Amino acid sequence: MDKPYDSGAKRLLALCAQDFFDWLLAGARFTGTSSEQFQSVTIQADAMQEAWLHDHPIMVHVEMQSGPDPDMAQRLLEYHVLAYRRYQRPVTSYVLYLRKGGALPEPPLIRTMPNGQEILRFHYQVIALWDLEHEALLGLGLRGLYPLVPFTRGGNRREVVEEIIRRLLPGHDTITKELLAVTGLFASLAFSRQEDQEWLRRTMLMLDDMLRETPLYQYILQQGLQEGREKGLAQGREEGREEGRRTGREEGYEKERQERLASLRQKLLTLVHVRYPRLESLARVQAVEHDDPEMLEEVLLKVALAQNAKEAERHLLAQNDHAQ
Domain ranges within the chain, ordered by starting residue: 4-131, 154-214, 259-324
Confidence of residue 257 (pLDDT cuts 50, 70, 90): confident
Per-residue confidence (pLDDT) for residue 237, from 0 to 100? 53
pLDDT tens for residues 12-34?
Answer: 888 899 999 999 999 999 998 77
pLDDT tens for residues 150-196?
Answer: 999 999 999 999 999 999 987 778 888 889 989 988 998 899 889 99
What number is the average pLDDT over the span 76-104? 91
Q: Please provide the average confidence, as pLDDT, over all residues in the chain.
A: 81
Residue 203: how many other CB atoms lie within 10 Å: 18
Per-residue confidence (pLDDT) for residue 62, from 0 to 100? 93
First to last CA, the chain: 52
Could you tell me which residue, 195 or 224, shows the higher pLDDT? 195
**CATH for the stretch 4-131:** 3.40.1350
pLDDT tens for residues 183-206?
Answer: 988 998 899 889 998 888 888 877
Asked if 315 contacts 286 with a C-beta cutoff of 8 angstroms, the reply is no
Query: DSSP string covering 26-38, please?
Result: TT-EEEEEEPPPP
Could you tell me which residue, 294 or 250, shows the higher pLDDT? 294
Burial 68-79 (b: 16+ CB within 10 A, else e): ebeebbebbbeb
pLDDT tens for residues 62-77?
Answer: 999 888 888 999 999 9
Least confidently predicted of 49-63, 67-81, 212-226, 264-278: 212-226
Asked if 127 contacts 96 with a C-beta cutoff of 8 angstroms, the reply is yes
What is the C-alpha separation between 157 and 181, in angstroms, rounded?
A: 17
What is the C-alpha separation between 271 and 279, in angstroms, rounded?
A: 10
Per-residue confidence (pLDDT) for residue 158, from 0 to 100? 94
Per-residue confidence (pLDDT) for residue 307, from 0 to 100? 76
Extract the runs of DSSP E, i.e. beta strands, from 3-154: 29-34, 47-53, 56-65, 91-97, 109-112, 118-122, 125-128
Per-residue confidence (pLDDT) for residue 214, from 0 to 100? 66
Instruction: State yes or no: pLDDT of 110 exceeds 50.
Output: yes
Asked whether the whole model's pTM tops 0.75, one would answer no
pLDDT tens for residues 275-300?
Answer: 888 888 888 887 877 678 778 877 87
What number is the average pLDDT over the span 247-256? 63
What is the C-alpha separation between 174 and 180, in angstroms, rounded?
A: 10
